[in-house]
Chains A and B, each alone.
Chain A
Amino acid sequence: MILNEKSVAEIKARMARYPSKKSVILPALTVAYRQAGHLNDNLYHEISEITGIPSVDIAAAATFYTMFPKHEVGKYLIQVCHNISCALLGADSLIEYLESKLGIKKGETTEDKVFTLISVECLGSCTTAPMMQINDEYYENLTREKVDKILEELRNKA
């Protein structure tokens, strides 16, 4: 069983608040993602066991959304916004910069499994472009200097 007691308790607590228990699918996926770092078939089955919702509904909903990685990712998932406001302010070159700093291409994970780099659609931070989201945090108004500092800090924490 991948989900720990805390996750199971949170899923059950959230499920009890909704008029229809099927609504807990997204919150449950979020809890699972936060604990495990990514989603997979086993987690869909576990959520199905905990909630009594057929696993097909959970898998069908989970694959609809793009926020949850469906394969294992590094400790830090770097999501760079490449939509219009960020693109206008150099998101493409930010991505290139990260690729060169990390030594990987977009979509890949570093060998030490610390960083995964992907580019995503608008993250709702258009006035502070260019920016990126790493796990749950937003890093905005990025410059090369700032990016270097952030990567170093995170590498040290890992």
Chain B
Amino acid sequence: MADSNNNLVTFTINGKEISVPKGTTVLEAAKMNGINIPTFCWHPKLKPVGACRICYVEIEKMPKLMVSCATEAMPGMVVYTESEKVKKGRKAVIEFILINHPLDCPTCDKGGECDLQDLTFAHAIDDSRFDFNKMRFIRDKSATFDDVRIGPEIIRNQNRCILCYKCVRANNEVFGEHDLGAYQRGNITEIDAPPGEQVDSLYSGNLVEICPVGALTNTDWRYKIRVWNTQTVNSICPYHADGANIKLWKDRNRIFRVTSRRNDEIDEGWLSDITRYGYQIAKPDNRLTTPLVKKGDSQVPVQWEEALGLIARRFKEIKDNKGGVCLGGIISPNMDCTSVYAFSKFFRTILNSNNVDFRTEYKMLPEAAGDLYGKMTSRKFTIAEIERADVIAVVGSDIMREHPNVNLWIHKAVTRKHASLYIANPVETSTGRIANDEIIYNIGTLDAFLNGVCVAIIESGLADQSVNTGDFARLIEPNTVERASKISGISAERIRAFAKAIVGAQNPCIITGEIFTSAVNREKLAGALHNLALLSGLYKKGQVGVLPRAANSKGCEKLGVMPHLSAKMQSKLKEIWGTYPDVAGLASDRMIVSANKEELDALFVIGSNPVFNSPDGLFVKEGVEKLDFLVVADLYESETSQMADVVLPLSSWAEYADRFVNLEGRVQKFEKAINPIPHSRPAFDIINSIAKELKNPLFESKDKLQKDIDSLLEFDSADEPEMKPVEVKYTEDKKTPGFDIPMLIVDQVHHYGHWTEKTHSLSEFCNEAFLEISPALAEKLNVDDGTIVRVESEVARINLPVKISEIIDGNVVLAYRNFATSPVNNLQMRKRRVDWVKIARVEGSKA
């Protein structure tokens, strides 16, 4: 049948005429039109392999049954999905699968959501003509079930495996991981981790979700509850700014697991293990359950009324006697929109203070609004666009650790769409495996490197025509490729290749991350990035993303939870509130400095743990100690809460409904799954209760506040940077002799902040802090895996066991920020660009 539209194919399926885009398979076409064809090995995000054969259809003029997953719909085809021949064919395939499939249903976790179970039932197969013993993959002859733990959270039962190969295909094609493979051939093929290894990548949980039967099951979910006894609640990942869409599976106030709620613009159905197992922070074990007030030397449980009354009284006292400038508030960017907005409104309209902030892990935060860095961070970034980029540059980020879902989009663009990938980072990353070039520049010289790239673009003659390149020579330093090469340690050839790739791209995508956002010289880096964007025409084509870390960082930004706001934003808030404090504000690091000088009297901390996470932990502790009044609300007891005058039990995101704004600016709702753990309360509730004590409630009902929040979320408070080059002069970082090993503080791959250590699943992957070092450095220091070393900076020292990295090559060492026994933030120097340390083996420790 001829189509007037060249891009559509019209054909008949079960007597119905349908039209689909050219290239669509018969299976996809059926699904698009509500016709169900069963599948095992097909997956919307994987290349079809035609292995299971269950998706047979009958097509007129074709003698054999065809597998619809691999047959392209052609004009005029006549397809039958439920003819007798098809039904018989399907039954034959099910019979083949069942002949060696064990009758484990009564104890198999997959029961109730098993494709094989459903299909067998649908075909009323209640007998078998197979009269031999079923094959068993026995590792332990004494065991009844042949379960093998192949990873911290994965149990494999090979007897149940129907060899659809989805797990190895996804692991390889989508995640680019190498910790799962198929071995042997024929019907003794086994799926397992490689010899001597475990299945423990950041994406390992997806393998269980993708398995159509109970061959791969989850340790966490095992034998806990039958799926038909649960209910699902729609939610959003509360950790990363990617904003993966999830389902919480619960029954009677208990959450049992998290699975994907596929959003093809964000996660495509894939979750990081942190998203998947991180729900365990919402469990009641070890949670703060009652308000505590410091009486004497100990923190004593009290009723909420007493705690709130005390807080209100003290805040009012300090505000009336010394002014709002002596009060400060730090709220975690993993808190919901209503809470962070209420926090800001509380401080500004009731306490007359601009000292509110959500950024605790960063040094030397900006002291004014309207900086170039702020303008760059508010640029729009769309995750799904990554797939369409032809050149991707990740600058200053370990993208997998920081944004596990964005990482998968990059992987997809590179491996399926043949995009070029360049990474510029001070230390090797796992995503570097697929990069055209992973540029490891000397730590602290990113601006010099970027300046070199700018010069290379100008020299190539391919710079954007509308830019006046003449100014650059005097505005930037280094202003020659050779000098940039010398400073950054990257050859001129590679700098030029990188420049050429960016400037030659049709649809470039530059992504930056934590190295960038946490940098002391972030304004210079923003300048360098801006210059690069100008020269390469990036502002007109492609996108630049300065990605924030947390689930609601963008929400905090858009709702103004920062001390310094642009004039535009201030007037908008004044419009909504009728008032706005006319005082200077302090960023979180300045609040600590102020506390140290005894100029800040009180701090209100929600969900954050500055003593453990902010740079220069001992300095922070000193400052916090000097405070007259410290209030901390958190899920669990923390280093900061232990020092507080009032501790309030906080409800987790699963215990109420609200919204997060992901790094794209996309507002996403999450629903309430369980009741707040007694006697915790959500943050916005706590804040409003204190406001009520001060006779000044922020809202009567949460809904009324949403209107204001909505208008702010829609408000475009961002200013575009001026389209002209800016000055960026690289200066050498201060270094003290003897301290010559650069240290980066990062999240361990399976952890996020200070909460995930409380989860049992993520702790299975890693439960203690290591110092990750390169094999070369290990040899130099004469240490091995597990050797204890003393890591010493100019402000502190700490002992850590060594872990020899498979990825790091040079001198940079990584310290994990997630484990209470090792406050590695103590080692950081809050004004210095690079945290230089010295490392020595501890005597008596094994080599």
The docked-state distance in angstroms from the alpha carbon of A73 to that of B110 is 42
- Does B481 interact with chain A (Cβ within 8 Å)? no
- Does B194 interact with chain A (Cβ within 8 Å)? yes
- Does A111 interact with chain B (Cβ within 8 Å)? no
- Min Cβ gap A4→B in Å is 22
Which of A44, A45, A57, A59 gathers most chain B CB within 10 Å?
A59
- Min Cβ gap A115→B in Å is 26
The docked-state distance in angstroms from the alpha carbon of A64 to that of B189 is 9
B195 and A60 within 8 A (CB): no
A56 and B184 within 8 A (CB): no
- Does A63 interact with chain B (Cβ within 8 Å)? yes
Determine the chain A residues whose CB is within 8 A of the CB of B182 once the complex forms: 60
- Does A54 interact with chain B (Cβ within 8 Å)? yes
- Does B185 interact with chain A (Cβ within 8 Å)? yes
A63 and B184 within 8 A (CB): yes
Query: What sequence of 0s and 1s flags, for each residue 40-73 of chain A, a beta carbon within 8 Å of any chain B beta carbon?
Result: 0100110000000011110110011000000000
Determine the chain B residues whose CB is within 8 A of the CB of A60 once the complex forms: 181-183, 194
With A63-B184, A64-B184, A64-B185 as contacts: A56 and B179 at CB distance below 8 Å: yes
With A56-B178, A56-B179, A57-B178 as contacts: A41 and B195 at CB distance below 8 Å: yes
Number of residues on chain B facing chain A (CB within 8 A):
13
The docked-state distance in angstroms from the alpha carbon of A38 to that of B196 is 19
B194 and A56 within 8 A (CB): yes
Query: What sequence of 0s and 1s flags, for each residue 539-580 of chain B, a beta carbon within 8 Å of any chain A beta carbon?
Result: 000000000000000000000000000000000000000000
A-contacting residues, B179-215, CB 8 Å: 179-185, 193-197
A55 and B195 within 8 A (CB): yes
With A64-B184, A64-B185 as contacts: A59 and B195 at CB distance below 8 Å: yes
Residue from B184, B185, B194 within 8 A of A55 (CB atoms): B194
Determine the chain A residues whose CB is within 8 A of the CB of B178 once the complex forms: 54-57
The docked-state distance in angstroms from the alpha carbon of A59 to that of B184 is 9
- Min Cβ gap B193→A in Å is 8
Determine the chain A residues whose CB is within 8 A of the CB of B195 once the complex forms: 41, 44-45, 55, 59
Determine the chain A residues whose CB is within 8 A of the CB of B197 once the complex forms: 55-56
A56 and B181 within 8 A (CB): yes
Residue from B181, B184, B185, B196 within 8 A of A41 (CB atoms): B196
Determine the chain B residues whose CB is within 8 A of the CB of A63 once the complex forms: 183-185
Q: A-side binding surface: helix, strand, loop or mixed?
A: helix
B194 and A59 within 8 A (CB): yes
Determine the chain B residues whose CB is within 8 A of the CB of A54 once the complex forms: 178, 194
A63: nearest chain-B partner, CB-CB: B183
Determine the chain A residues whose CB is within 8 A of the CB of B193 once the complex forms: 56
The docked-state distance in angstroms from the alpha carbon of A56 to that of B171 is 12
- Min Cβ gap B649→A in Å is 46
The docked-state distance in angstroms from the alpha carbon of A59 to that of B181 is 8
B184: nearest chain-A partner, CB-CB: A63
The docked-state distance in angstroms from the alpha carbon of A63 to that of B178 is 16
- Min Cβ gap B9→A in Å is 34
Which of B178, B180, B195 gathers most chain A CB within 10 Å?
B195
The docked-state distance in angstroms from the alpha carbon of A90 to that of B185 is 29
The docked-state distance in angstroms from the alpha carbon of A7 to that of B149 is 36
Determine the chain A residues whose CB is within 8 A of the CB of B181 once the complex forms: 56-57, 59-60
Residue from A45, A55, A56, A64 within 8 A of B180 (CB atoms): A56
The docked-state distance in angstroms from the alpha carbon of A65 to that of B254 is 49
B433: nearest chain-A partner, CB-CB: A54
Determine the chain A residues whose CB is within 8 A of the CB of B194 once the complex forms: 44, 54-56, 59-60
Query: What sequence of 0s and 1s flags, for each residue 110-123 of chain B, a beta carbon within 8 Å of any chain A beta carbon?
Result: 00000000000000
The docked-state distance in angstroms from the alpha carbon of A146 to that of B182 is 42
The docked-state distance in angstroms from the alpha carbon of A15 to that of B185 is 25
The docked-state distance in angstroms from the alpha carbon of A133 to that of B194 is 31
The docked-state distance in angstroms from the alpha carbon of A132 to that of B196 is 36
The docked-state distance in angstroms from the alpha carbon of A55 to that of B179 is 9
- Min Cβ gap A55→B in Å is 5
A53: nearest chain-B partner, CB-CB: B178
The docked-state distance in angstroms from the alpha carbon of A59 to that of B178 is 11
B-contacting residues, A94-111, CB 8 Å: none
- Min Cβ gap A70→B in Å is 10
The docked-state distance in angstroms from the alpha carbon of A60 to that of B184 is 7
A64: nearest chain-B partner, CB-CB: B185
- Min Cβ gap A138→B in Å is 25
Determine the chain A residues whose CB is within 8 A of the CB of B179 once the complex forms: 56
The docked-state distance in angstroms from the alpha carbon of A152 to that of B776 is 53
- Min Cβ gap A45→B in Å is 8
The docked-state distance in angstroms from the alpha carbon of A55 to that of B194 is 7
The docked-state distance in angstroms from the alpha carbon of A45 to that of B197 is 11
- Min Cβ gap A49→B in Å is 11
- Min Cβ gap A146→B in Å is 34
Determine the chain A residues whose CB is within 8 A of the CB of B183 once the complex forms: 59-60, 63-64
B194: nearest chain-A partner, CB-CB: A56
Determine the chain A residues whose CB is within 8 A of the CB of B196 once the complex forms: 41, 45
The docked-state distance in angstroms from the alpha carbon of A56 to that of B179 is 7
The docked-state distance in angstroms from the alpha carbon of A45 to that of B806 is 13
- Min Cβ gap B137→A in Å is 14
The docked-state distance in angstroms from the alpha carbon of A89 to that of B57 is 46
- Min Cβ gap B64→A in Å is 27
The docked-state distance in angstroms from the alpha carbon of A57 to that of B177 is 11
The docked-state distance in angstroms from the alpha carbon of A56 to that of B196 is 10
- Min Cβ gap A48→B in Å is 9
The docked-state distance in angstroms from the alpha carbon of A56 to that of B181 is 6
Which of A41, A55, A60 gathers most chain B CB within 10 Å?
A60
- Min Cβ gap B805→A in Å is 15
The docked-state distance in angstroms from the alpha carbon of A24 to that of B637 is 55
- Min Cβ gap B177→A in Å is 9
- Min Cβ gap B309→A in Å is 61
Query: What sequence of 0s and 1s flags, for each residue 643-678 of chain B, a beta carbon within 8 Å of any chain A beta carbon?
Result: 000000000000000000000000000000000000
- Min Cβ gap B176→A in Å is 10
Determine the chain A residues whose CB is within 8 A of the CB of B185 once the complex forms: 63-64
- Min Cβ gap A14→B in Å is 22
The docked-state distance in angstroms from the alpha carbon of A59 to that of B180 is 11
The docked-state distance in angstroms from the alpha carbon of A63 to that of B181 is 11
Which of A41, A44, A45, A56 gathers most chain B CB within 10 Å?
A56
- Min Cβ gap B219→A in Å is 22
Determine the chain B residues whose CB is within 8 A of the CB of A55 once the complex forms: 178, 194-195, 197
The docked-state distance in angstroms from the alpha carbon of A54 to that of B643 is 48
Determine the chain B residues whose CB is within 8 A of the CB of A41 once the complex forms: 195-196
The docked-state distance in angstroms from the alpha carbon of A101 to that of B183 is 35
The docked-state distance in angstroms from the alpha carbon of A55 to that of B193 is 10
The docked-state distance in angstroms from the alpha carbon of A60 to that of B197 is 13
A65: nearest chain-B partner, CB-CB: B185
The docked-state distance in angstroms from the alpha carbon of A54 to that of B179 is 9
A60: nearest chain-B partner, CB-CB: B181
Determine the chain B residues whose CB is within 8 A of the CB of A64 once the complex forms: 183-185
The docked-state distance in angstroms from the alpha carbon of A55 to that of B197 is 10
The docked-state distance in angstroms from the alpha carbon of A44 to that of B181 is 13
The docked-state distance in angstroms from the alpha carbon of A119 to that of B737 is 69
The docked-state distance in angstroms from the alpha carbon of A59 to that of B197 is 12
Determine the chain B residues whose CB is within 8 A of the CB of A44 once the complex forms: 194-195
- Min Cβ gap A99→B in Å is 25
A-contacting residues, B98-129, CB 8 Å: none
Determine the chain B residues whose CB is within 8 A of the CB of A57 once the complex forms: 178, 181
> What 9 pairs between A and B have smallest CB-CB spacing?
A54-B178, A41-B195, A60-B181, A56-B194, A63-B183, A56-B181, A56-B178, A64-B185, A63-B184
Q: List 15 A-B residue pairs with CB atoms under 8 Å apart, sorted by A's residue number.
A: A44-B194, A54-B178, A55-B197, A56-B178, A56-B179, A56-B181, A56-B193, A56-B194, A56-B197, A57-B178, A60-B181, A60-B182, A63-B183, A63-B184, A64-B184
**Which A residues are within 8 Å of any B CB, using their own CB?**
41, 44-45, 54-57, 59-60, 63-64
| Apart from A44-B194, A56-B197, 16 more pairs, CB < 8 Å | A45-B196, A54-B178, A55-B178, A55-B194, A55-B195, A55-B197, A56-B180, A56-B181, A57-B178, A57-B181, A59-B183, A59-B195, A60-B181, A60-B183, A63-B183, A64-B183
**Which B residues are within 8 Å of any A CB, using their own CB?**
178-185, 193-197
